[in-house]
Amino acid sequence: MTSNIEIPLWLFVMMVLFATVTFASHFLFPSVRWFFRRRLERAVKKLNKRLTRPIEPFKLARRHDMIQRIIYDPEVTKAIVTHARENDVPENVAFEKARGYARETVPSFSAVAYFSFGTRVARWLANALYDVRTSPNNEATLKQIDPEAAVMFVMNHRSNMDYMLVTYLAARASALSYAVGEWARVWPLSLLIKAMGAYFIRRTSRGQLYRKVLARYVQMAVQGGVTQAIFPEGGLSVTGRLMHLKMGLLSYAVDGFDPDGRDIVFVPVSINYDRVLEDRVLIAADQRGDRRFGARISVVMAAIVRLLWSWIRRRYRKFGVASVAFGEPVSLAGLGRDISIDTLADTLRSRINDVTPVLNVPLVARVLLKADGPMTQEDLIKQVLNARPSGGKDEPGSTPDVVRACQDMELRGMITDTRAGWIIAPEERAMLQFYANSIAELYPDCPSLKNAARAKK
């Protein structure tokens, strides 16, 4: 009983390591998790008192539990069996594939990461780059919505800054769950995005199993009252105009809607900028006829360095105005039981266009594109101030605002101030058209998207 036993050092180290891990996993880690979860629950309870729409328990559920709930959902189980039969693979292989899709989709929301870090970064970045303006009706629009309804913000997609702007502006209302594309799956960005409550969407996947997993997650989130934000155009607009809305996420929400249960309210959101950060990249993609955005990390870092250098030299100049306006909400319960997804998409698109913020750079671009030749500054200002449409959410117009817009456009090489007046730089006509397109549908002379596409061909 007291004799010595010799064992290799490596084996002793392995035994100690396994004993430590076992002790931690059974005794230490559960206590630590319980301690932090109790602190989180108290923090969320305190946070919910100041939010217009409190964070629902669904959003705070453990990620592992949500994944299990999805993959054992009866509809997903049927899709697993169908996938196994159609692809001639064992059901356990199809089951693991569904589990992988669920792990990829389900976020790991952290209220601390969202409100302590995410919203502050969004506020700082938005205000550092733009003069942020909002419609005075935005807050009233949110307050009139039934507190028990699930809200989905349906937005046009002008820039990747859209995420920052709406996160910042909606921070007092609730925590948004974004649907983001595959660009955001790069590590470590993916970890931060999941912690912010976003979920990934494969734009190129057409598999029935993947679509069913994604659909059930969206439907469960809606049923759980999670406030979501989607970009139904399917990507950034390369023309500046609002494209036709894709049915994917909208159809998932409608298909899972229970008329006797929680209502779903869609809030149209229109965003516009005096300067879109990715404008040249988007225009180049449109001219090539593809959606391969060629922005390299080196280009992005060079732009950041230039901005920092101008700030150090006290020559930093903001990119103009960024404006967000909420349109009239659409209640799914109010549409009745015979819901047409096409009618819903057309209604939402129309209401997004109706509240388009009318900014000075798009107005200057529109006026100069319609001019026969050079325009004196006096004539340009007069026509811009008179060109504001009857629709849209007009920003306050004034002579200094128009002058500032012209100066910003001149600094970018878009227009030139000659002796005869302002003219468009020959190689920048596409750039002015890009900005003029953002407000084009507020005017009766705007061609339909179908006619524009036909003319382009």
Do 245 and 388 share a domain, yes or no?
no
| pLDDT score at 118 | 76
Q: What is the pLDDT along the chain (457 residues), one digit of tens a residue?
A: 566 667 677 766 776 776 676 655 555 445 555 444 555 556 556 555 656 666 666 666 677 888 899 999 999 999 999 999 999 999 999 999 999 999 888 887 766 667 777 778 888 888 888 999 888 788 888 888 888 888 899 999 998 888 888 887 776 666 778 777 755 555 555 666 666 677 778 776 668 999 999 999 999 888 888 888 888 888 889 999 998 888 888 999 888 888 888 899 999 999 999 999 889 889 998 888 877 665 555 555 666 677 777 878 787 888 899 999 999 999 988 887 777 888 899 999 999 999 999 999 999 999 999 987 899 999 999 999 888 886 556 565 678 888 999 999 999 999 999 988 999 998 999 999 999 999 999 988 777 655 544 444 4
| C-beta of residue 331 within 8 angstroms of C-beta of residue 265 | yes
| pLDDT score at 139 | 80
Which of helix, strand or coil describes residue 172? coil
| pLDDT score at 156 | 93
Domain-terminating residue out of 355, 376, 401: 355
| 252 within a domain of the structure (yes/no) | yes
Angle, in degrees to the nearest 10, between helices 74-87 and 208-223: 170
CA atoms of 330 and 1, how far apart (whole Å)? 79
Do 266 and 411 share a domain, yes or no?
no
Domain count, the chain: 2
Domain-terminating residue out of 329, 355, 381: 355
| 441 within a domain of the structure (yes/no) | yes
| C-beta of residue 273 within 8 angstroms of C-beta of residue 321 | yes
| 62 within a domain of the structure (yes/no) | no
Do 249 and 123 share a domain, yes or no?
yes
330-331 and 264-273 beta bridge pairing: antiparallel
Side chain identity at 149, as an amino acid letter? A
Do 397 and 426 share a domain, yes or no?
yes
Do 247 and 393 share a domain, yes or no?
no
| pLDDT score at 313 | 79
Q: Which domain holds residue 428?
A: 360-456
| 79 within a domain of the structure (yes/no) | no
Do 130 and 249 share a domain, yes or no?
yes
Residue 90 has, within 13 A of its CA and on its CB side, a CA count of 3
Q: Which two tokens stand for residue 413?
A: 């090489």
Do 120 and 258 share a domain, yes or no?
yes
DSSP H stretches of helix in 172-264: 189-195, 208-223, 248-255
Domain-terminating residue out of 328, 355, 382: 355
Do 344 and 418 share a domain, yes or no?
no
Helix (H) or strand (E) holding 348: helix 341-354
| 314 within a domain of the structure (yes/no) | no
Do 262 and 373 share a domain, yes or no?
no
CA neighbor of 56 nearest in space, from 147, 181, 154: 147
CA atoms of 158 and 351, how far apart (whole Å)? 16
CA dihedral 451→453→456→457, nearest 10 degrees, is -100
Do 346 and 381 share a domain, yes or no?
no
CA atoms of 55 and 61, how far apart (whole Å)? 11
Do 229 and 195 share a domain, yes or no?
yes
A 10 A CB-CB count for 230 gives: 25
CA atoms of 124 and 133, how far apart (whole Å)? 14
| 146 within a domain of the structure (yes/no) | yes
| C-beta of residue 358 within 8 angstroms of C-beta of residue 387 | no
Q: Would you mind telling me the total number of residues written for the chain in this entry?
A: 457
CA dihedral 426→427→429→435, nearest 10 degrees, is -140
Q: What is the CATH number of the domain that holds 245?
A: 3.40.1130.10
| 138 within a domain of the structure (yes/no) | yes
Helix (H) or strand (E) holding 418: none
| pLDDT score at 80 | 94
| 71 within a domain of the structure (yes/no) | no
Do 336 and 260 share a domain, yes or no?
yes
Q: What is the CATH number of the domain that holds 420?
A: 1.10.10.10
CA atoms of 224 and 260, how far apart (whole Å)? 15
| pLDDT score at 425 | 92
